[in-house]
Amino acid sequence: MSRTPPNLLTATQEALEAVRSTSPLVQCITNSVVVGFTANALLAVGAAPAMVDVPDEASMFAGVASGLLINLGTCREEQRAAALEAAPAAIAAGTPWVLDPVAVGVLPVRTPLAHHLRDLGPSIVRGNASEILALAELGAGGRGVDSTSSVNDAITAAQLVARVTGGAVAVSGATDLVTDGVSVVRLSNGHPVLTKMTGGGCALGALMAAFAAVTPDSLTAAVTATSVYTVAADLAAERSALPGSFAVALLDALSEVSVDDLAARAVFA
């Protein structure tokens, strides 16, 4: 598919309808701080969440799930073991999987784990600019989970990681960027209040796993998930731009965002 804005819009609309009609089963090995919000975001958009992060079960479930998210936000020993068995199982089963390398950089446990998982070839990597720079071994990470670099700073790193993985890399920021190592797509929706609530990026990673389940091309899956999520954020911000009520409004907007909303609001470049 030619990745022109009209074609990306059509792909996004079709993917949204596919997620809602098929309800892909998304396994989440994720940040314990945001488990509830992540599950609710998946349900709102039309997918089915499964928070299966127990060793010996994680690999079994990865073989039957439609998509897998591995998020390193709370990198407990049990979750690390589950991630290390689920990723190869997903690969063996042909299950698309997303790596969200939260807060990688100088931290001595999650950083080597993230590099190992990177080298297994996730379908999509999603992170902020500092995380992507660190995953590419071109930076030391940000300020905890917050980026200290801009999306433009991370373009080369994102392309490098995409070439290593053979998939797509999504860099979240004021203007989001998605690349497969060659093509670069920028998306200009979303709202600043997303940075004032816990779990905004983590939920987006889960949605990428859901959209990857219905969209074979990794770059298109990452673009479609980002577009649906950020257009929903635009709609939610019109109801409330305060962090607490915005989080609720975002779930409502994810359940209501339509193909017409995408046509009217989605901005690709």
Summarize the annotated binding site as residue ranges. 51, 126, 172, 199
Residue 35 phi, psi (nearest 5): -55, -50
CA nearest to 240, candidates 207, 205, 196: 196
Q: How far apart are CA 211 and CA 232, in angstroms?
A: 15
Binding site for substrate: what residues are annotated? 51, 199
Number of H helices, E strands in the chain: 11, 8
Q: What string of DSSP letters covers 128-145? A: EHHHHHHHTTS----BTT
With b meaning 16 or more CB within 10 Å and e meaning fewer, what string describes 63-90? Answer: eebbbbbbbbbebeeebbbbbbbbbebb
Residue 54: burial class (beta carbons within 10 Å; 0-12, 13-18, 19+): middle
- Strands 48-50 and 67-71, by their bridges, are unpaired
DSSP H stretches of helix in 63-181? 77-93, 110-120, 129-135, 155-165
Binding site for ATP: what residues are annotated? 126, 172
Residue 264: burial class (beta carbons within 10 Å; 0-12, 13-18, 19+): exposed
With b meaning 16 or more CB within 10 Å and e meaning fewer, what string describes 35-47? Answer: bebbbbbbebbbb
